[in-house]
Amino acid sequence: MRFDLGDEHSLLRSSTRELLEQEAPLSEMRSVMEQSIEGYSKPLHSKLGDLGYPGLLLPEADGGMGPIAFAVVLEEMGRVALPGPFLDQALAVWLLAACENKVAAEWCRRAAKGDTLVVLARREWGARTARSVATPSFSDGRVRGRATFVPFGAQADALLVETNEGLVLAERPGTGWEAQDLPTLDHAQRFAEIELDVAGALVADSSTARSALAKIDPLAALGAAAMLLGVMDRALEVTTAYLSERSAFGAPIGSFQALQHRCADMLLQTESARSAVYRASWAAESGAPDDAYLAAVAKAYAGPAARFVCGQALQLHGGVGFTWEYDLHIYLKRTKTLEQFHGSTGSQIEAALLLRDAQ
């Protein structure tokens, strides 16, 4: 047994960190998030495409590196709270490959290189507050209906739409489709509600779709959990540094025991999330029978943990943490997005119960 990363994954971590520090420091990404229409850096995503990152989850023969690598990369992206559809794109690439369909394969190839953005439109998204969710339907070569909370739906070149008939690939028509922004409190993660009535291709029938989607859920949970880990890891790092510098009542505030114990709790939750995420990534990598269960566990734990850590990070910074200028709120907000999507905490807990019973 060993817990630390092997050479290959360590190299991936350090090169990813270097890349992100150089190309996507939060100081620069701030202006992209706040000012660009798409909300993220397209050049960076192109570069990630050139380097093969979106295809991380593909089989090794197709340039993939496996779930541990996937978790390592997402953790690093969490540390800089990277804006953009990277996770959604990587999941869509995997799904396109899993369709085993020619049209899908072509889009998969392009999406894996970062040339186009394909994202998945799931039925469940937004369902929590809608009594009935209208599922888009597919007939006569067209997909019709409303997809909601589609991540970066207004920026996507194509959607992979979950319908009762299966997965439908719908390319954005020249005139554009009706995509309406759904601004959430995390302004850096864009969502859209899309009225669809466009030509599409059925790339997976309902049974293929079902089994592929059942496999994408744990991968999505793992990716989101890894990103949450990076988010809280960085928030804690920033906080302990601040507590060592800042003084009040004649002492560095990090010497006050009540604050020290708070930081200890933040570390406990951060390191526990790390154990859970790494264990889930290892289970997925080694094809363990409990991989889906462990992914649900990791996501169910990491969400509330990151919420606690980021909330306390703000609290321990006092007023300055409440300023827009300071970065901490980006982490707090990203936590909320990651917690609510890719299977909310409540749904992951229920999934963990069901998956355990099924083992």
Partner 1 sequence: MDLGFTAEQESFRIEVRDWLAQNLERPWRVESRDPSHDADSLVEVRRRWQSRLNDAGYLGMSWPQEWGGRGASEVEQAILQEELIRADAPGIVNGLGLGLLAPALIHHGTEEQRRRFIPKMLSAEEIWCQGFSEPGAGSDLAALRTQAEPDGADYRITGQKVWTTFGPWSDWIFVLARTDPEDRHGGISFFLVPIDQPGVEVRELKQITGHSEFGEVFFDGALAKGEHLVGKVGEGWRIAMTVLGFERGAASLAPPASYERQIDGMIAALRETGEYENPSVREKVGQLLVENEVMRANGMRTLATLASGQAPGPESSIEKIYWSEFHQRLTDTALDLLGPKAQLEAGPQGALQDVNWGYEYLWSRAGTIYSGSSEIQRNIIAKRVLHLPTAR
Summarize as ranges the residues that interact with its own copies (CB under 8 A).
Answer: 256-258, 260-261
Please give the sequence-ordered ranges of beta strands (E in DSSP) within 58-211, or none if there are none: 118-121, 137-139, 142-151, 158-163, 166-171, 178-181, 191-199, 201-205
- The answer to whether the beta carbons of residues 93 and 111 sit under 8 Å apart is yes
Number of residues that bind partner 1 (CB under 8 A): 89
3 binds partner 1 (CB under 8 A): yes
When the beta carbons of 61 and 251 are compared against its own copies, the nearer one is 251
Using alpha carbons only, how large is the chain's radius of gyration in Å? 20
208 binds partner 1 (CB under 8 A): no
Q: Which of 126, 166, 223, 343 binds partner 1 (CB under 8 A)?
A: 126
- The answer to whether the beta carbons of residues 190 and 155 sit under 8 Å apart is yes
320 binds partner 1 (CB under 8 A): yes
Minimal distance in Å, beta carbon 74 to partner 1?
A: 15
Among the listed residues 165, 123, 157, the one whose alpha carbon sits nearest the alpha carbon of residue 141: 165
Q: Which of 191, 198, 212, 338 binds partner 1 (CB under 8 A)?
A: 191
* Burial of 123 (C-beta count, 10 Å sphere; 0-12/13-18/19+): middle
CA-CA distance, 45 to 62, in Å (whole number)?
Answer: 19
Q: Which of 56, 91, 201, 276 binds partner 1 (CB under 8 A)?
A: 276
Q: Which stretch binds partner 1 (CB under 8 A): 51-59, 77-85, 171-179, 312-320?
A: 312-320
Q: Which of 7, 248, 289, 358 binds partner 1 (CB under 8 A)?
A: 248
**309's tokens:** 């850590």
When the beta carbons of 187 and 261 are compared against its own copies, the nearer one is 261
275 binds partner 1 (CB under 8 A): yes
Minimal distance in Å, beta carbon 151 to partner 1?
A: 11
329 binds partner 1 (CB under 8 A): yes
Residue 169, helix vs strand vs coil:
strand
CA-CA distance, 310 to 302, in Å (whole number)?
Answer: 12
300 binds partner 1 (CB under 8 A): yes
Minimal distance in Å, beta carbon 246 to partner 1?
A: 9
Residue 287, helix vs strand vs coil:
coil
135 binds partner 1 (CB under 8 A): no
When the beta carbons of 27 and 257 are compared against partner 1, the nearer one is 257
157 binds partner 1 (CB under 8 A): no
244 binds partner 1 (CB under 8 A): yes
Sign of the CA dihedral with 293 first, then 203, 87, and 132 last: negative
Which residue is listed with tokens 């083992």? 359
Residues 6+ apart with CB under 8 A from 28: 41
104 binds partner 1 (CB under 8 A): no
Residues 6+ apart with CB under 8 A from 341: 125, 149, 151, 224
229 binds partner 1 (CB under 8 A): no
Positions 50 through 79 that interact with partner 1 (CB under 8 A): 68
When the beta carbons of 134 and 353 are compared against partner 1, the nearer one is 353
CA-CA distance, 218 to 251, in Å (whole number)?
Answer: 47
179 binds partner 1 (CB under 8 A): no
173 binds partner 1 (CB under 8 A): no
Residues 6+ apart with CB under 8 A from 182: 148, 149, 191, 192, 193
Q: Which of 24, 154, 314, 338 binds partner 1 (CB under 8 A)?
A: 314
13 binds partner 1 (CB under 8 A): no
Minimal distance in Å, beta carbon 231 to partner 1?
A: 15
